[in-house]
Amino acid sequence: MPPPPPFQAADPRSDPPAAARPGAVVSQPTAVVTPLAADPVTQPVAVVSERLPWRHTFISLKVPNFRIFAAGHFIAVVALWMQRIAQDWLVLQLSGSVTAVGVTVALQFLPSLLLGPWGGMMADRFDKRKILMLCQSVAAVLAAVLAVLALTHQIQVWHVYAIALTLGLVTVLDQPARQVFVNELVGPAYLRNAISVNSTIFQLGGLIGPAVAGVLLSAVGAGWAFAANAAACCSTLTMLLLLRKDQLHLTLPAAKRKGMLREGLRYALAKPTIYWPWLMAGFVAVFAMSLPVLLAAFADHVYDAGAGGYGLLNALVALGALAGAITSARRRQLRLRSVVLGAGMYGLMLCLAAAAPSMAWFGAAMVLAGFWCLMFLTAANQLVQVSANMGIRGRVMSLYIMVLIGGQAIGGPLMGWLAEHLDPHLAIFVSGGVPALAAAAVAVVLARRGQLMLKVDLKARRRLLRIDRV
């Protein structure tokens, strides 16, 4: 049995009424509703007011089922990053076009933009574990086909396009089910920590995967990276089969009825803790989440660093993101302002990267960009998940994923075209500048709605700047 949780989470199946103000939080171990926005109701947000001891940083791993799932997820993520880096670099080498790399990204994410809410409805209606098993089986076949084509030197750009599009269709089902399944693995008490653990695993995989992919691309080519991902998908499938079903926190599937998608949309728009992260995710996804496309342009056209340099730049982003994921796991308060600050700082770091005088300074900016990107993503993901009751969480998360992943279907070709036809420096400046300006605008709106005022106190050594109510 896992030890008692560091806080008692609110029952996610209920939606007790509460007035709301921007930025307010629940700040005691038992979840008590405090205002978060001016009119709609919001779910209690379970937050730890005391700083957790280091031994509890990843406390959700005490749950046996989640520990098994996390092990399989780590293997899969390393291989997935290997495949993504190999895929993007292969398209660049076959076509000589950064725009073609962006098209590959777009095809992989376009289905989520068009069909995302449908995937969320499936996650609410059917067994999440079985959905994940089906998705991993199909993903393994797709990776194996890529591997065979690459290793036999028969692969062409259109092959990569077709498989990327098919993999995007798999993602439509996989991502909402995966997000909601975490709650079934650990229960509401450990949900926030489990989200941070998942982010840490993803970024640790993002640190290892690109580095390994860079070595494989230089030594033996892209085919073996695809083969490794096929094997990893089989490994994840095995881990899902090993889970103890009697220890899952299963939720009753939602009954099929008319208007389920509209219900999810109305629910999301009615809650500021869902709507504002959703809006910020849109700006970040379209302009700043296609960073691998821009890194390919910098590695090939600006620094002439080759496949190894491309893998290194992606690994530096993942290094910063790993630090961000660990920091977010120890975050004491979950606020709307954390989401806005993370998005704004991520954009600012990309703007600074545009002015980097050398690859070393550019790499340092990528570490900082990775850190703030993960601070934004985990804050937004946690806030959206804990703000939605379980009966509708699949649809709510599918809307969030539709914006976050589907936005990249627009941003990938856009950023690729800017990098290829104008300048990579200008492209990355636009990539960071738009989210930074959007974050500033949202901060002003939230401040005015909450009647907040920035004060400077020169006598306070620890808090020179603070936000007070008028």
Percent of the chain at pLDDT above 90?
A: 9
- pLDDT exceeds 90 at position 398: no
Of 122, 218, 236, residue with least CA distance to 169: 122
Q: Is the dihedral of CA 96, 289, 84, 146 positive or negative?
A: negative
Q: Greater confidence, 112 or 226? A: 226
The per-residue pLDDT for range 182-208, each reduced to its tens digit, is 878 887 777 777 777 777 777 677 667
Residue type, 374: L
Residue with tokens 């009424």: 17
Q: What pLDDT does residue 144 have?
A: 92
CA distance readout (Å), 165 to 35, 169, 194: 43, 7, 30
Contact 243, 69 (CB under 8 A): yes
Q: What pLDDT does residue 351 have?
A: 92
Q: What pLDDT does residue 383 have?
A: 82
| pTM recorded for the entire structure | 0.64
- pLDDT exceeds 50 at position 46: no
The per-residue pLDDT for range 134-169, each reduced to its tens digit, is 988 999 999 999 999 988 888 888 898 999 899 888
Q: What pLDDT does residue 436 have?
A: 93
Q: What pLDDT does residue 434 have?
A: 92
Average pLDDT, the chain: 75
Which residue ranges make up each domain of the chain?
Answer: 58-469
- pLDDT exceeds 70 at position 39: no
Report d(CA 225, CA 220) in Å as an integer.
9
pLDDT tier, 345 (very low <50, low <70, confident <90, very high otherwise)? very high
The per-residue pLDDT for range 230-270, each reduced to its tens digit, is 988 888 888 888 888 887 776 666 666 666 667 777 777 77
Lowest mean pLDDT among 158-162, 274-278, 327-331, 410-414: 327-331
The per-residue pLDDT for range 48-96, each reduced to its tens digit, is 444 555 556 677 788 888 888 888 888 888 888 888 888 888 888 888 8
What tokens appear for 44 in the block? 């209690």
Q: Which CATH number fits domain 58-469: 3.40.50.2300, 1.20.1250.20, 1.10.260.40, 3.40.30.10?
A: 1.20.1250.20
Report d(CA 223, CA 234) in Å as an integer.
17
Q: Is the dihedral of CA 100, 102, 107, 110 positive or negative?
A: negative
Q: Greater confidence, 213 or 443? A: 443
359-386 and 272-288 helices cross at what angle (nearest 10)?
150
Backbone angle region of 380, left / alpha / beta, with phi > 0 → left and psi within -120 to 50 → alpha: alpha
Report d(CA 400, CA 285) in Å as an integer.
11
- pLDDT exceeds 60 at position 25: no
The per-residue pLDDT for range 366-386, each reduced to its tens digit, is 999 989 988 888 888 778 877
